[in-house]
Structure 1
């Protein structure tokens, strides 16, 4: 029962020992413990600040990357648009050039056809003239076998010619 109801002396000694223990702990243990807790708290705060700075820097880098990506896309779109316009211009130039060449070839062919046609007509006229002369020669020879037929032909021709 002594433990349940301690003596007044025991109570005093336990109080004194407790106070001495608290004093010793305060002098030698609490300050180093509190200092180490303070250092740990400071290092945690520094780590949090560094993490926040890193997060902000990552956001800036992400924004810069997005900006660069947007610029690259715009540049790509610009290049594609320019390539399309160059392609269309080249196609139009080639088409125009082909049309001009075709037009020149057609006109040259038409000129050649006209010249060939004229040459053929001239040749036909020449052949018709030669045939007419041959026919006329044969007719005249046959008609002019005699002097009398000859005189009659001259008279007929003179009669056909009208004088003004």
Structure 2
């Protein structure tokens, strides 16, 4: 450091000071304003970018809230649709059961009627057959009994007595 103090030259110092002042003056006139303008422009663009980022953040939060709301509404609508579909399915199932029961009762009723008709027809046929067989048997018995004259006269007189009494 001592060497610097010994080598000190006041002319050199004055010249360097003058050059520094001229340089500062030139820089202030030529470069200082554009540099300050660029810095202010950069500061403004950074501020605008921060505001835009904040606005985007708020917009994202709002959109996310809207999405959550829409999602919740969609879930509620889905639940409602499922409830309605279940109710409709149950109603259709009950209607089908009721219709099936009515049809089954109708089929059973029709079958009972058909059975009664067939039963009555069968009974009538059996009665007719029994009557025919009875007549055949009676005819055969009467022919055999009436083959002799005395038996036929006795039978006719018995019938005549029965007729008069009735």
Out of 6, 9, 16, which is 2:8 matched to? 6
Distance 1:105 1:155, change over 3 A: same
Which consecutive residues of structure 2, in runs of 5 or more, have no partner in the other structure?
A: none
2:30 and 2:6 map into 1 onto residues whose CA distance is 33
1:110: how far off? 1.5
Residue number in structure 2 paired with 1:45: 47
Distance 1:92 1:42, change over 3 A: same
Residue number in structure 1 paired with 2:88: 86
Out of 105, 108, 115, which is 2:107 matched to? 105
TM-score normalised over the length of structure 2: 0.78
Residue number in structure 1 paired with 2:139: 137
2:142 and 2:111 map into 1 onto residues whose CA distance is 45
Residue number in structure 1 paired with 2:127: 125
Distance 1:4 1:147, change over 3 A: farther
Tell me which moved more, 113-122 or 60-69.
60-69
Distance 1:140 1:14, change over 3 A: same
1:95 and 1:2 map into 2 onto residues whose CA distance is 116
1:105: how far off? 1.0
Tell me which moved more, 80-89 or 119-128.
80-89
1:128: how far off? 0.7
1:3: how far off? 9.1
Residue number in structure 1 paired with 2:30: 28
2:21 and 2:6 map into 1 onto residues whose CA distance is 22
Which consecutive residues of structure 1, in runs of 5 or more, have no partner in the other structure?
A: none
Out of 46, 51, 62, which is 1:60 matched to? 62
1:157: how far off? 7.8
